[in-house]
Amino acid sequence: MRDVGSDKTMAEETRKQSGLGSLLAIWSRRKWLAMLAFAGPMAVGMSLVAFLPNIYRSTATVLVDRQQVPEAFVRSTVTSALETRLHTISQEVLSRARLEDLINRFGLYVELRKQAPLEDVIARMRGDIKLELKSAELRGLREATVAFTIAYQGSDPATVSIVTNTLASFYIEENTRARERQATGTAEFLKIQLSETKARLDEQEQRVSGFKRRYLGELPQQMDANLTTLDRLHQQLRQNADSQTRSAERRQALTSQLADAESMFSSPQFAPGLAGTPLVPLAPADRLVQKREELARLRTQYSEKYPDVVQLKAELAALERELAALKQAESKSAPNASASPAPASAAPMAPYVLRLKEALSEVQTDLKILKTEEARLREGIAVYQARVENVPRREQEYKELSRDYESTRELYGSLLKRYEEAQIAESMEQRQKGEQFRVLDQAVANPQPAAPNRVRLFLIALAAAVGLAVGVVLMVEHIDTSFHELDELRAFSNVPVLASIPRIVTRTDLRRQWWRMRLGATAALVGLVLIVGVAYFLAHGNERLILLLTRLAS
């Protein structure tokens, strides 16, 4: 019996040998095609990799310094977010005027400017500038930008570093200018608003002052004073009425006394007294003492301006004048007493009647004064009564007038406080104590090119050439339907193969094959030269191709 395992092993080895033999047979038939298919793409790839220009990149790191003065003391008026402000500054820095100035100053993109318009050159430079933000987590809430990098790429490393540092300085200057501009604009805006509000407030103050002057005494805050004055005037009016009553009674009494005195003037046994009482003779000195005692009693109860006190003081003055007149008359009449004797009762009675008439005249004068005072008091009461009645209407008018004034005054105070804060914030920005940009790492010339990555591109070209060669060979083998081996014919047909006649090569065939090989080699060489020339034309100074290949390789 035959070993089944050994038969399987021999079959597998036969299949392996047949597969390897097939590959060797394909190689022997298609080696020149494979080599040509490999050489063409490989030459293209090698030429492009070799002739591509070097691209150098420099990076500058800019640190964001936060506000140096604590926000608890000075609150900045620049409220825009840092990221938003950076994008705004980027638009300023990458503007057409800025980039055109950089291109002309440093002589950038010389070859590209010869071939393309200036707008394309500026767009190319915008693409070569990269801005990258570096953030840090802030107390687990959100990420805050603490720094950013500015990168620029070009063909000359020294120029690239200079341009990068210039762009970083642009960002720093634009940030400082933008913050100062915003702080100054805020202060100017508040100043204009403050002046307008101040003018409106002055106008309303004048209206309120005019209202107070026009309706002085009828204002709501004067209501209590008006009521107090009104009560005082009513009290004075009552006192005036009482004084008039007493004066009227006194006038009546004096009138009665004067009538009695005149009717009984001839009777020497009596002196004038009160109405309805017998006339009791009293000496002027005794009456003076009596009046002084009554005046002292009234002063203990009333003031000096009390009507009875005033009247009594007038009577005392009249008695004093009467006594002085009597003494003077006695001194003059003493030498002539024997020549012309006068009645004993007539001398003392005349001054008494005169005194009564003077007292009556004083009482009538006091009544006139009291009447005038009554009219004045009633007029004052009417005035203050009208003021009290007009207070509600004036209060409503004053509220409507003062409401706008109070709101304007509050707005003015708020604007004044904010304007002062804005001035402090503006001073802080001008002194560069606010949020500032500072170059942490300047860009330096890097001798190592950032692109292209020639090793990676070479490996990609090698893989592409090998794949293309294998693909071409397999495609040709698939298209070619001729038989190359006896086994292929036997596998294809059941007719037995009797003999295999090899190809008969003559000298003509050899000569023709030799010429064909020379022509093929020459054509391949010329093709390779053309490929290298075209690759040099495409790759030399073509930075766009570098970007494209780098993007495809990544």
Residue 2 included in any domain: no
Q: What is the pLDDT of residue 330?
A: 63
Interatomic CA distance for residues 123 and 94, integer angstroms: 10
| pLDDT at residue 501 is higher than 80 | no
| pLDDT at residue 267 is higher than 50 | no
191 and 257 share a domain?
Answer: no
pLDDT confidence tier of residue 270, bands split at 50, 70 and 90: very low
81 and 151 share a domain?
Answer: yes
Q: Model-level pTM?
A: 0.54
Query: Which of 159-163, 240-244, 302-306, 510-514 has the weakest average pLDDT?
Result: 302-306
Per 3-state DSSP, what percentage of the chain is helix, strand, and coil (rounded to 5)? 70, 5, 20
Asked if 23 and 128 touch (Cβ cutoff 8 Å), the reply is: no
Q: Encode 470-495 in three state secondary structure.
A: HHHHHHHHHHCCCCCCHHHHHHHCCC
What tens digit of pLDDT does each residue of 284-314 get?
Answer: 666 676 677 777 777 776 777 777 777 878 7
CB atoms within 10 A of CB 493: 10
pLDDT, average across residues 196-204: 88
Q: How many independent structural domains does the chain possess? A: 3
Asked if 452 and 549 touch (Cβ cutoff 8 Å), the reply is: yes
Tell me which residue of 92, 61, 365, 398 sits closest to 219, measured CA to CA. 398
147 and 287 share a domain?
Answer: no
- Return the amino acid letter for 430: Q
42: exposed, middle or buried (C-beta count within 10 Å: 0-12, 13-18, 19+)? buried
Residue 404 included in any domain: no
247 and 308 share a domain?
Answer: yes
User: Going by C-beta distance under 8 Å and a sequence separation of 6 or more, which residues neighbour residue 124?
Assistant: 109, 112, 116, 543, 544
260 and 377 share a domain?
Answer: yes
274 and 389 share a domain?
Answer: yes
Residue 400 included in any domain: no
pLDDT, average across residues 66-91: 76
Q: Which domain holds residue 173?
A: 56-195+419-441
154 and 245 share a domain?
Answer: no
263 and 376 share a domain?
Answer: yes
244 and 168 share a domain?
Answer: no
Residue 283 included in any domain: yes
φ, ψ (nearest 5 deg) of residue 159: -65, -40
Q: What is the pLDDT of residue 334?
A: 52
425 and 512 share a domain?
Answer: no
Percent of the residues in the chain that have a pLDDT greater than 70, as a whole number = 75
pLDDT, average across residues 110-120: 85
Residue 75 included in any domain: yes
Crossing angle of helices 4-51 and 454-479, rounded to 10° = 130
Provide the token pair at 281: 């003779």
